[in-house]
Structure 1
Amino acid sequence: MTIGLLGKKIGMTQVFCQKGKAIPVTALQLGPCIITNIKKVELHGYQAIQIGYNEIERRKLSKAQVGHLEKSSIPPVKYLKEYKTNTIERFAIGQYITVNDLEIDDKINISSISIGKGFSGYQKRHNFSRGPMSHGSKNHRRPGSIGAGTTPGRVFMGKRMAGRMGGHKVTIKNLRIIEIDTEENVILVNGSVPGKPGSIISVCKK
Structure 2
Amino acid sequence: MLNTLLGQKEKMSHTFVEGQRVPVTFVKTGPCVVTQIKNKDRDGYWSIQLGFGDKKLKNTTKQLEGHLREVIKDNKAPRFLREVRVESEPKLKVGDIVLAKDIFKKGDVVAVTGTSKGKGFAGVVKRWGFAGGPKTHGQSDRQRAPGSIGQGTTPGRVLKGKKMGGRMGNERVTVKNLIVVDVDEEKNEVVVSGAIPGRPGGLILLKKLHSGSLDDLVQETPQPQIVEGEEESPAEEAKPEVKEGENKNES
TM-score with structure 2 setting the length: 0.78
- Name 1:40's counterpart in structure 2: 39
Higher strand share: 1
| Structure 2 gap segments, 5+ residues each | 210-251
Q: Deviations over 1:117-176 (max 9, x none)?
A: 000000100011121112512421111110001100000011000000000100111211
- Name 2:215's counterpart in structure 1: none
**Conserved in 1, the CA contact under 8 Å of 2:33 and 2:71?**
no
Taking the TM superposition and a 5 Å limit, the aligned residue runs for 1:71-150 are 72-75=70-73, 76-101=77-102, 102-134=104-136, 136-138=138-140, 139-150=142-153
- Name 2:60's counterpart in structure 1: 61
Task: For 1:130 and 1:73, locate their aligned partners in 2 and report how far apart those are by CA, in whole Å.
Answer: 56
Task: For 1:95 and 1:61, locate their aligned partners in 2 and report how far apart those are by CA, in whole Å.
Answer: 21
Task: For 2:72 and 2:39, locate their aligned partners in 1 and report how far apart those are by CA, in whole Å.
Answer: 19
**Conserved in 2, the CA contact under 8 Å of 1:38 and 1:88?**
no
- Name 2:175's counterpart in structure 1: 172
Aligned-residue offset at 1:87: 2.7
Q: What is the total number of aligned residue pairs between the two structures?
A: 204
Taking the TM superposition and a 5 Å limit, the aligned residue runs for 1:4-23 are 4-18=4-18, 20-23=19-22
Task: For 2:177 and 2:94, locate their aligned partners in 1 and report how far apart those are by CA, in whole Å.
Answer: 29
Task: For 2:158 and 2:196, locate their aligned partners in 1 and report how far apart those are by CA, in whole Å.
Answer: 35
- Name 2:187's counterpart in structure 1: 184
**Conserved in 2, the CA contact under 8 Å of 1:49 and 1:88?**
no
Identity of aligned residues (%): 40
Which protein, 1 or 2, shows the higher relative CO under an 8 Å CA cutoff with sep ≥ 6?
1
TM-score with structure 1 setting the length: 0.95
4+ runs of 1 displaced by more than 4 Å? none
3-state SS of paired residue (1:155): coil
| Structure 1 gap segments, 5+ residues each | none
Structure number with greater Rg is 2
Q: Say what the alpha-carbon RMSD is for the aligned residues.
A: 1.3
The one-letter code matched in structure 2 to 1:88 is E
The one-letter code matched in structure 1 to 2:57 is R
The one-letter code matched in structure 2 to 1:179 is D
